[in-house]
């Protein structure tokens, strides 16, 4: 564990440093609260042993600053007081400290507290990983392993952030599997699920890592093509459409004899700064046009008008 010591007294620093290193921990040393705060921000130690009274930022201020800066991580804070008065201990705990020791420092007492610190910070790290895994799971479609509509909403919100005066261009592609209901009727829902998973994998494989592929619902998918012009996005979607056709998933109820997809494209660019809801509507209308003009094709929205590729 990485331990930060903050103390303006040289002898106390030396005793504390020796105790920390004898316990097998990596040690960082600061001579006042300001330096300790700078070191904390750079190194993110698992534990901090800080004197209560120091020049600049005192121990209470340092505890408050560390607690305010924490996100998923947790730092175990040990306050060092000169006499351990009740008021000092209470003030330290209210400022965010986990424990305290008194001067003159007893290395054994500090070592015991560092053992507790290691256990507590390890538990917090496990919880942080668990929360991260749950958050990722909540944003994944269990069948296709693609991101879901919750993640799509977050990503579209980031793309059109009001804090960005010059947002990047991007295109949305609404994708639907052609005649999928009849496929399920003919081959069963288990085959339908396998087909959706195969198509989802193909969609993801045909775009860049910087693009987004989402299961929008049922047999519908949505692609977010970042930094793409309408022409570029159209070329991407033609490649995607061809790749799905190339899977050759048999479908006797389709005129092509295999499962195919149709797609509708809408663009966000300097000439068309539409909101996300409007763009989704335009992509959906373009998809409807692709369906109406024969399926297995890509149709492009031009801000209300639509044209096939």
Give per-residue pLDDT as tens, 97-125: 999 999 888 999 999 999 999 999 999 99
DSSP string, 26-57: EEEEESSHHHHHHHHHHH--SEEEEESS-SSS
CATH 2.30.40.10, domain 2-136, yes or no: no
> 219, 238, 250, 277: which is the annotated catalytic residue?
219
219 is catalytic: yes
Helix (H) or strand (E) holding 61: helix 59-69
Closest CA to 227 of 240, 243, 212: 212
Domain ranges of the chain: 2-136, 149-308
What is the pLDDT tens value at each position of the chain, 309 positions in all?
A: 999 999 999 999 999 999 999 999 999 999 999 999 999 999 999 999 999 999 989 999 999 999 999 887 899 999 999 876 888 889 999 999 999 999 888 999 999 999 999 999 999 999 989 988 888 889 999 999 999 999 999 999 888 765 555 778 899 999 999 999 999 999 999 999 999 999 999 999 999 999 999 999 999 999 999 999 999 999 999 999 999 999 999 999 888 899 999 999 999 988 888 888 999 999 999 999 999 999 999 999 976 445 555
- Check if the beta carbon of residue 49 is closer than 8 Å to that of residue 98: no
Any idea which fold 149-308 has? Alpha-Beta Plaits (3.30.70)
Calpha distance 75→118 (Å, rounded): 10
Whole-Å CA distances, 113 to 60, 110, 167, 178: 19, 5, 50, 64
* 288: Cβ contacts below 8 Å, ≥ 6 apart: 264
């Amino acid at each position: 564990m990485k331990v930060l010591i903050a103390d303006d007294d040289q002898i106390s620093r030396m005793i504390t440093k020796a105790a920390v290193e004898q316990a097998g921990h990596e040690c960082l040393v600061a001579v006042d609260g300001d330096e300790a705060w700078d070191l904390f921000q750079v190194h993110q130690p698992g534990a901090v042993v800080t004197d209560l009274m120091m020049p600049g930022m005192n121990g209470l201020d340092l505890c408050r600053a560390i607690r305010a800066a924490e996100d998923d991580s947790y730092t175990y804070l040990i306050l060092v007081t000169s006499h351990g008065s009740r008021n000092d201990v209470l003030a330290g705990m209210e400022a965010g400290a986990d424990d305290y020791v008194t001067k003159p420092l007893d290395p054994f007492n500090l070592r015991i507290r560092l053992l507790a610190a290691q256990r507590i910070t390890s538990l917090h790290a496990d919880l942080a990983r668990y929360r991260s895994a749950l958050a990722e799971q909540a944003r994944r479609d269990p069948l296709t392993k693609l991101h879901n509509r919750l993640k799509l909403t977050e990503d579209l919100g980031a793309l059109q952030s009001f804090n960005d005066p010059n947002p990047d261009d991007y295109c949305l592609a609404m994708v639907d599997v052609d005649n999928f209901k009849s496929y399920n009727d003919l081959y069963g829902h288990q085959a339908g699920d396998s087909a959706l998973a195969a198509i989802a994998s193909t969609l993801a494989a045909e775009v860049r890592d910087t693009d987004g592929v989402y299961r929008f619902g049922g047999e519908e998918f949505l692609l977010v093509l970042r930094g793409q012009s309408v022409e570029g996005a159209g070329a991407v979607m033609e490649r995607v459409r061809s790749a799905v056709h190339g899977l050759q998933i048999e479908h006797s109820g389709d005129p092509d004899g295999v499962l195919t997809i149709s797609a509708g494209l809408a663009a966000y660019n300097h000439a068309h700064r539409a909101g996300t809801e409007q763009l989704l509507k335009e992509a959906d209308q373009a998809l409807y046009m692709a369906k109406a003009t024969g399926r297995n094709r890509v149709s492009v929205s031009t801000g209300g008008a639509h044209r096939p590729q």
